[in-house]
Amino acid sequence: MATTTVKAYGAAAATEDLKPLDIQRRAVGTADIKIDITYCGVCHSDIHAVRNDWKGSKYPVVPGHEIIGRVVEVGNGVHSHKVGDLVGVGCMVDSCQTCSPCKQDLEQFCENGATFTYNSPDKHIEGKETYGGYSTSVVVNEKFVLRIPKNLDEAGAAPLLCAGVTTFSPLNHWKVKKGDKVGVIGLGGLGHMGVKFANAMGAHVVMITTSPEKGKDAKRLGAHEVLVSKDEEEMKKHHNSFDFILNTIPVGHEMDPYLALLKIDTTMVLVGAVEALKPFHGGNIIAGRKRIAGSLIGGIKETQEMLDFCGEHNITSDIELIDIKDINTAYERVTDNDVKYRFVIDMKSLK
């Protein structure tokens, strides 16, 4: 198949910095859309993938699954978007479309394996992996291309494609409603979106953080209360009081202190710790019939619903805009818990 060479940034090994490199993009097929990338968010998952934290990374890794851009070419079977439209691409670029999860709009759980935006076997270019949004352009099947509401800031909308849907989906699925007491653990890229969404859904939002200095920001973002998880006395005051907790901690951690916060019959959803958790005491979920659940991004239909919700409520991410040359410093700052609250790369800086 004919391909085009485009500029990108990627890592050649787990221990190496990201550097400029050339990658191939496929020619636009009947159902495909070619997007000129304008902005790309920097997710903590990009760092996990580059550093091979979850094993299975194939190099070079070209990360980036919070993609915003303009349509520059469409295949002759495409009707959903046209040249000039502002669009987004999130964590997935393909799935089988025929299995039971795909038919339920849950492509992220495709039984035949969803094709993720980077580091998945590329169905179109033999022997290659998919390459993400740290690049000048991308070609994607129209079913995986999202509409971006016109009122949203372009750069601030980029993180909605992953951080947005990953936090919206569990709040939506577990039906968080007006008056619920909702805890969001971790004020990072995901957490700050969780706070905004839970607030917009009418919940009483408690930011649960290890960083007391983030308290003021948490309130500006929509939290009604701030709970410092290291303060045992304060934690005790909130025992058995939460209707729902969204946990975005990016590493394995102690679960018991957070389980103690849940009311009877309520759920804590993990989205961050894709690794071994510290052992927790069974009694802490047995007493109170409490639940621990997980959630992975969201399907394409739900991603569009989230974007439309953001359009209605004028929700975008709080970002720090960077040039691509500063990506390695940005990675260090994310790892050091020093970003407010999402880095977004201005892709003009790669052109």
Return d(Cα 125, Cα 265) in angstroms, integer.
48
From the list 134-142, 150-158, 205-213, 281-289, the region that binds ligand NAP by CB under 6 A is 205-213
Nearer to ligand NAP, 136 or 229 (CB): 229
Nearer to ligand NAP, 22 or 54 (CB): 54
> Using DSSP, how many helices (H) and how many strands (E) does the chain show?
11, 17
For Zn ion, the closer of residues 134 and 242 by Cβ is 134
For residue 214, the partner it binds in Zn ion, ligand NAP, none, with Cβ less than 5 to 8 A by kind, is ligand NAP
Q: Detail the DSSP E strand segments found in the chain.
A: 3-11, 18-26, 32-42, 67-74, 86-89, 92-94, 115-116, 137-141, 146-147, 181-185, 204-209, 225-228, 242-247, 262-270, 291-294, 319-322, 342-346
Tokens read off for 86: 């502002």
Stretch that binds ligand NAP, among 7-15, 188-196, 238-246, 324-332 (CB under 6 A): 188-196
Q: What is the contact mask toward ligand NAP in residues 209 to 248, using x (rule: CB under 6 A)?
A: xxx--x---------------------------------x
Question: Distance (Å, rounded) from C-alpha 195 to C-alpha 208?
Answer: 10
52 contacts ligand NAP (rule: CB under 6 A): no
Q: What angle do CA 154, 158, 161 make, to 5 degrees?
A: 135
Residue reference for tokens 């601030």:
156
In the complex with Zn ion, the residue whose CB is nearer, 170 or 242, is: 170
- Nearest alpha carbon to residue 53 among 109, 115, 11: 11
Strands 181-185 and 242-247: parallel
Sign of CA dihedral 92, 98, 99, 100: positive
Our finding on whether 188 is near ligand NAP (CB under 6 A) is yes
Does 43 bind Zn ion (CB under 5 A)? Our answer is yes
Binding mask 137-176 for Zn ion (x = CB under 5 A): -------------------------x--------------
Stretch that binds ligand NAP, among 16-24, 39-47, 122-130, 234-242 (CB under 6 A): 39-47
Site for ligand NAP in 253-272 (CB under 6 A): 253, 271-272
Comparing every residue's Cβ against ligand NAP, the nearest one is 188
Residues 302-331 that bind ligand NAP (CB under 6 A): none
First vs last Cα of the chain: how many Å apart?
25
Q: Is the Cβ of residue 132 or residue 191 nearer to ligand NAP in the bound state?
A: 191
Q: Which residues contact 47 (CB under 8 A, 6 or more apart)?
A: 53, 331, 334, 335
**Biggest CA-to-CA distance, the chain:** 64
Select the binding partner of residue 210 from Zn ion, ligand NAP, none (C-beta < 5 to 8 A, by kind).
ligand NAP
Q: Output 10 or 186, the one with its CB closest to ligand NAP.
A: 186
State how beta strands 3-11 and 181-185 pair. unpaired
Considering CB distances under 5 to 8 angstroms, the limit depending on partner class, which of ligand NAP, Zn ion, none binds residue 106? none
Angle of CA points 39, 135, 302, to nearest 5°: 55
**How many residues lie near ligand NAP (CB under 6 A)?**
28
Give the interface with Zn ion as residue ranges (CB under 5 A).
Answer: 43, 45, 162
Give the interface with ligand NAP as residue ranges (CB under 6 A).
Answer: 43-45, 48, 162, 166, 186-191, 209-211, 214, 248-251, 253, 271-272, 295-297, 334, 337
